[in-house]
Chain A
């Protein structure tokens, strides 16, 4: 089977740093993606880790450890507009086709 685990909710204050963890269990692995979705909106791509280590894109960073089957999304200098759901997604190497397996999502609430 395949599963991705991430916390259902996280709350933080404006200006703070928050980390959203994702652990996965899949028969194969190509990499870990992160998506942001505001309430009622379309998911948007944030970052991708194909190799171990940290990827930084502005206020957002993403980390992957293949040996631990673990990754996280780090959001710095939180702003109110960062309140949204965040999904990790894995491409399972076992599959012939190109597809993503999404986690259940983490709802981030940023308080003033």
Chain B
């Protein structure tokens, strides 16, 4: 079955530590996205990538970093510079730039930093 996997489902970290969230897709999609969702809120775009070895900042990129070395993988690192990292993180993909209106989402990672 094709889809997007994110691991782990729940992640706990101490303040001051960097943490990397995994996102893998086997849909053969070119574009991938990272969103952050806070309770009762919409999705806010952190970073996105339309092609391997290229990515752009979204609306809330400060304190985050990404890489796109392989088409299938788009890991997100939450650095210690992120002021309020506790949130639900969602990874998504779309066929390509022109299909951004239809995104497929992974199950998400709920990150808690204390």
Chains A and B belong together in one complex: yes
Chain A residues close to B by CB (< 8 Å): 30-31, 33, 41-45, 48, 50, 87, 89, 91, 97-105
Residue contact A100 to B100, C-beta cutoff 8 Å: yes
Q: Which secondary structure dominates where chain A touches chain B? A: loop
Q: Which residues of A contact B42 (CB under 8 A)?
A: 87, 102-105
Sampled A-B contacts (14; CB under 8 Å): A30-B101, A41-B107, A42-B106, A42-B108, A43-B103, A45-B103, A50-B101, A89-B101, A98-B48, A98-B94, A98-B98, A99-B33, A99-B100, A102-B35
Which residue of the partner chain A has the closest CB to B48? Answer: A99
Chain B residues close to A by CB (< 8 Å): 31, 33, 35, 40-45, 48, 50, 56, 58, 90, 92, 94, 96-108
Residue contact B101 to A100, C-beta cutoff 8 Å: yes
Given contacts A42-B105, A43-B90, contact A98 B43 (CB under 8 A): no
Q: Which residues of A contact B106 (CB under 8 A)?
A: 42
Q: How far is the CB of A41 from chain B (nearest CB, A)?
A: 7
The residue that A97 contacts in the complex, of B97, B101, B105, B107, with Cβ under 8 A, is: B97
Q: How far is the CB of A108 from chain B (nearest CB, A)?
A: 14
Q: Which residues of A contact B31 (CB under 8 A)?
A: 98
Which residue of the partner chain B has the closest CB to A95? Answer: B56
Given contacts A30-B101, A45-B103, A48-B102, contact A99 B45 (CB under 8 A): yes
Residue contact A33 to B48, C-beta cutoff 8 Å: no
Within the assembled complex, what's the spacing in Å between the Cα atoms of A98 and B94? Answer: 10
Residue contact A102 to B103, C-beta cutoff 8 Å: no
Q: How far is the CB of A100 from chain B (nearest CB, A)?
A: 6
